[in-house]
Amino acid sequence: MTHSASARSARAGEQFAPVGELELCYDTFGDRADPALVLIMGLATQMIAWRDDFCAMLAGRGFFVVRFDNRDVGRSTKLNHLPVPTRGQLLRRDKRAASYTLEDMALDAVGLLDHLEIERAHIAGASMGAMIAQMVAANHPDRVLSLVSIMGSTGSRWAGQPRLRAAKLLLSVPPADRNGFVDHMIKTFTIIGSPGFERDEAELRWLAQTTFDRGRNPAAGSRQLAAILATGDRTRALSRITAPTLVIHGSADTLVRPSGGRATAKAIAGSRLLEIQGMGHDLPREAWPEITDAIVENAARVTYSA
């Protein structure tokens, strides 16, 4: 297991949690005395995609917000001793290509809760992070107060499948140079972003540059995509979820199409579905108030004495 040299020196606010053989980089917003809200990000995407202002907004609504880099990403442990799945293996959905699964990544989140001595938390995830959050709620119900699944799906082949142009992005490897990486990321969000909301290209460029500088890992996307494919259809697991659940999806999502969100809501008893018109596969700033209000409302459904 390797850590980039930069990962050894945390930036302002960043800390490292030993979780099994991994180190997870995380930071927090808000008052430790407030109920915890853990944010889990998506495929090969660093925790900074949960923008600082968004996290501060949630902290202002009464949460102790925790965000972290998933394994293989950002400043968390990079598992570069593990094989990189080939394009052919991914296209064939070869489960043998996976070195870890979504269940393993869910255990990472639980391990972070243990490190922080948090007994139960609200859990929210975006894209692959939604799938991980679902597995935390399904497999570790005693640790979850509420669940918010954003831009996620059930893993069924019959729901949430990407449009062809978006699917090609999943198999693409970003350029190795900084400028090329930034241009690739901007092009990506031109394809999968929200057509119904204004895109702040300067902010997106900053996010891409900071992602590159914090520590890109070209193999992360392939290994994490293999983890999703190896975990397969989670519909049965989702039926076990008892935490109050909110499913958020964009009506214009081309990477995980809206049927993925609808299938997720259908699979989780008592869940609520919020479909945001014009939102694609990102978290546009203009949608933050609606998303934040919905997260707060879902958290209010929790019976703390349970």
Could you give the CA distance from residue 261 to residue 155 in angstroms, rounded to a whole number? 11
At 70-91, the pLDDT tens digits run: 999 999 999 999 999 988 998 8
pTM of the entire predicted model: 0.94
- State the chain's mean pLDDT as an integer: 93
Could you give the CA distance from residue 25 to residue 46 in angstroms, rounded to a whole number? 10
Residue percentage of the chain with pLDDT more than 70: 95
- Top-tier CATH class for 5-299: alpha beta
Give the torsion through C-alpha atoms of 146, 250, 43, 299, to 10 deg: -10
Hey, where are the domains in the chain? 5-299
Coil, strand, or helix at residue 273? strand
The mean pLDDT of 146-156, rounded to a whole number, is 97
Question: Is the model's pLDDT at 306 over the cut of 50?
Answer: no
Which tokens go with 289? 């108030």
pLDDT of residue 8: 41
Q: List all residues 6 or more positions away from 52 whose beta carbon is below 8 Å from its beta carbon.
A: 29
Could you give the CA distance from residue 104 to residue 111 in angstroms, rounded to a whole number? 10
Could you give the CA distance from residue 79 to residue 86 in angstroms, rounded to a whole number? 16
At 102-113, the pLDDT tens digits run: 999 999 999 999
Single-letter amino acid, residue 231:
T
At 65-75, the pLDDT tens digits run: 999 999 999 99
The mean pLDDT of 200-205, rounded to a whole number, is 94
